[in-house]
């Protein structure tokens, strides 16, 4: 038992300095979401299994809750941990519809669980940040632009590598295929989605064999799927393919509006593209779809995504259409922390360590600390009245930038910046550290050098 504890794969835990980064990212996301008027909610972590079921089947990746004391006859509680935030949100809307104002705008940042084999960027417990807007019976299209724009702003404000929003529109694809005379639209979309893994000619062959396309139709599908631009020029490119369909036109208009709306305003490191091969979630997305990728981390696949659901939730009488997008906080952050792209400036909140001269005068050190805290400066008093060298080292290990040496009656105290070695006389009632030292900061790789 005295042996080491084995880590549990897929259930990542952060050390304090890394947690500084995660907390700041969550705080920054929340600030942006709130800036756009989205209210925060938190849902329970369990849902009835039948609600988590996918097409009537219980997914094997769902963690089921079971009481230890349950008898052999009892199977389980009928409850499972949620595997995303959309399903709980849909249920929340139905359950609380009478108390909500629609269109309801909310954000939610919570863990979710999936019994997958863990890999880089794929965990069994992970944190996600979702923003959605949901309406009653109808939800005007401009909310698609609005909610996507919120996530663009939110990710643009994060200290992460550049991200790319790749948009598509299901009406556009569906209308194109329909206008083309393709019978099995869903099969065609599913096949086109394999373009990542298979060469174009193999995909074309599959379109013929699996999706009932003629070679000519397959060729057109590929031409559509390879359109990828950062402006609205895709509209002309699609029209040149010579397919006519009302739904296609609607999709083109919508996608153009989303791309234009999200690209507007100028961003630090977010790019926006129309990418006509993005499929995502065949069963429920009905209009706008998006996948988000992070530069240098394409191997993680998407770090976020979402879209429009015409039926996010329904109670049989009322349908609640929704549009939203989610960002994988754990999926993107943990690899960035592991690679040292992001780190926390220190593992403790303390900006100052107040040294203790000897145990008889510990009260004097505590008084200094109280004076600093009264002005909002996080600090701690040294654990032991060791030699000052040891106390300085204690601070250094923890990344605490300042050590305060209390004075004695008639002698002023002094504060030392242990990075520069500079030491000055100071009064705990007025001294203030530089703003950037007041709290632990997120340090990016460039800033480190």
Partner RNA sequence: GUGGGUAUAGCUCAGCUGGUAGAGCGCCGCCUUGUGGUGGCGGAUGUCGCGGGUUCGAGUCCCGUUACUCACCCCA
Residue numbers at the binding site for RNA (CB under 7 A): 3-4, 6-10, 52, 54, 59, 83-84, 86-87, 116-120, 122, 197, 280-281, 299, 301, 305, 355-358, 385-393, 396-397, 403, 405, 414, 416, 418-419, 421, 423
Nearer to RNA, 10 or 16 (CB): 10
Nearer to RNA, 91 or 267 (CB): 91
Supply the minimum distance, in Å, between the C-beta of residue 3 and RNA. Answer: 6
Supply the minimum distance, in Å, between the C-beta of residue 238 and RNA. Answer: 25
Phi, psi dihedrals of residue 36, rounded to the nearest 5°: -95, 10
**Contact of 179 with 244, CB cutoff 8 Å:** yes
Q: What tokens does 68 get?
A: 């230890």
Supply the minimum distance, in Å, between the C-beta of residue 85 and RNA. Answer: 8
Supply the minimum distance, in Å, between the C-beta of residue 348 and RNA. Answer: 15
Supply the minimum distance, in Å, between the C-beta of residue 8 and RNA. Answer: 5
Nearer to RNA, 51 or 269 (CB): 51
Close Cβ partners of 374 (under 8 Å, ≥ 6 residues apart): none
Nearer to RNA, 122 or 178 (CB): 122
Q: By three-state DSSP, how is residue 447 classified?
A: helix
Nearer to RNA, 84 or 223 (CB): 84
Write the burial class of residue 283 (CB in 10 Å: 0-12 exposed, 13-18 middle, 19+ buried).
exposed
Supply the minimum distance, in Å, between the C-beta of residue 87 and RNA. Answer: 5
Q: Which residue carries 């379109």 as its tokens? A: 207
String of DSSP letters for 71-129? -SS----SEEE-SSSHHHHHHHHHHHGGG--SSEEEEEEEEEE--PPPBTTB-SEEEEE
Supply the minimum distance, in Å, between the C-beta of residue 234 and RNA. Answer: 24
Supply the minimum distance, in Å, between the C-beta of residue 268 and RNA. Answer: 27
C-alpha to C-alpha distance for 354 and 360, rounded to whole angstroms: 15
Close Cβ partners of 292 (under 8 Å, ≥ 6 residues apart): 151, 155, 163, 164, 165, 166, 302, 303, 304, 305, 325, 327
Decide the pairing of beta strands 125-134 and 319-328: antiparallel
Question: What is the chain's length?
Answer: 449
Nearer to RNA, 158 or 355 (CB): 355
Nearer to RNA, 36 or 393 (CB): 393
Nearer to RNA, 197 or 240 (CB): 197
How many CB atoms sit inside 10 A of residue 268's CB?
9
Nearer to RNA, 217 or 326 (CB): 326
C-alpha to C-alpha distance for 139 and 366, rounded to whole angstroms: 59
Nearer to RNA, 78 or 261 (CB): 78
Supply the minimum distance, in Å, between the C-beta of residue 126 and RNA. Answer: 11
Supply the minimum distance, in Å, between the C-beta of residue 339 and RNA. Answer: 12
Supply the minimum distance, in Å, between the C-beta of residue 70 and RNA. Answer: 22
Examine residue 184 and say whether the peptide bond preceding it is cis (omega within 30 degrees of 0): no
**Contact of 305 with 292, CB cutoff 8 Å:** yes
Measure Cα distances from 391 to 321, 345, 380, 386, 395 in Å.
60, 20, 12, 6, 6
Measure Cα distances from 348 to 261, 330, 339, 354, 399 in Å.
41, 22, 21, 14, 7
Residue burial 404-418, b: 16+ Cβ < 10 Å; e: rest: bbbbeeeeebebbeb
Nearer to RNA, 87 or 225 (CB): 87
Instruction: Spell out where 142-211 has E strands.
Output: 163-169
């Amino acid at each position: 038992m005295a042996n080491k504890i084995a880590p549990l794969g897929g259930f990542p835990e952060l050390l304090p300095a890394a947690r500084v980064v995660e907390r700041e990212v969550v705080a920054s996301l929340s600030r942006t979401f709130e800036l756009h008027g989205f209210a925060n909610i938190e849902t329970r972590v369990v849902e009835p299994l039948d609600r988590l079921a996918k097409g009537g089947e219980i997914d094997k990746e769902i963690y089921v809750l079971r009481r230890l004391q349950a008898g052999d006859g009892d199977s389980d509680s009928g409850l499972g941990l949620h595997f995303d935030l959309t399903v709980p949100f849909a249920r929340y809307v139905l359950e609380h519809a009478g108390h909500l104002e629609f269109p309801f705008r909310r954000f939610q940042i919570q863990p979710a669980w999936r019994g997958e084999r863990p890999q880089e960027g794929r965990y069994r417990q992970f944190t996600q940040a979702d923003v959605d807007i949901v309406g009653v019976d109808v939800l005007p299209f401009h909310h698609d632009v609005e909610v996507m724009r919120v996530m663009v702003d939110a990710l643009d404000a994060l200290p992460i590598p550049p991200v790319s929003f790749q948009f598509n529109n299901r009406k556009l694809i569906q209308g194109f295929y329909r206008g083309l005379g393709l019978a099995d639209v869903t099969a065609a979309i599913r096949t086109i989605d394999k373009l990542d893994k298979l060469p174009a000619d193999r995909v074309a062959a599959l379109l013929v064999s699996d999706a009932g396309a003629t070679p000519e139709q397959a060729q057109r599908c590929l031409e559509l799927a390879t359109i990828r631009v950062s402006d609205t020029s895709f509209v002309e490119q699609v029209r040149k393919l010579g397919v006519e369909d009302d739904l296609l036109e609607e999709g083109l208009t919508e996608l153009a509006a989303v791309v234009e709306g999200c690209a507007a305003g100028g961003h630090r490191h977010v790019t926006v593209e129309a990418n006509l091969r993005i499929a995502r979630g065949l069963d429920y997305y009905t209009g706008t779809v998006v996948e988000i990728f992070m530069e240098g981390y394409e191997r993680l696949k998407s770090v976020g995504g979402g879209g429009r659901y015409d039926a996010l939730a329904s109670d049989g009488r009322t349908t609640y259409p929704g549009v939203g997008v989610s960002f994988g906080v754990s999926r993107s952050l943990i690899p960035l922390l592991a690679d040292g792209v992001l780190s926390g400036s220190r593992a403790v909140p303390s900006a100052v360590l107040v040294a203790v001269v000897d145990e008889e005068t510990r009260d004097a050190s505590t008084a200094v600390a109280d004076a600093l805290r009264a002005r909002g400066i996080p600090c701690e008093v040294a654990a032991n009245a060791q030699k000052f060298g040891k106390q300085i080292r204690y601070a250094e290990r923890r990344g605490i930038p300042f050590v305060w040496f209390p004075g004695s009656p008639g002698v002023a105290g002094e504060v030392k910046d242990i990075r520069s070695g500079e030491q000055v006389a100071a009064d705990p009632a007025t001294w203030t550290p530089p703003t950037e030292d007041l709290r632990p900061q997120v340090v990016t790789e460039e800033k480190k050098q």
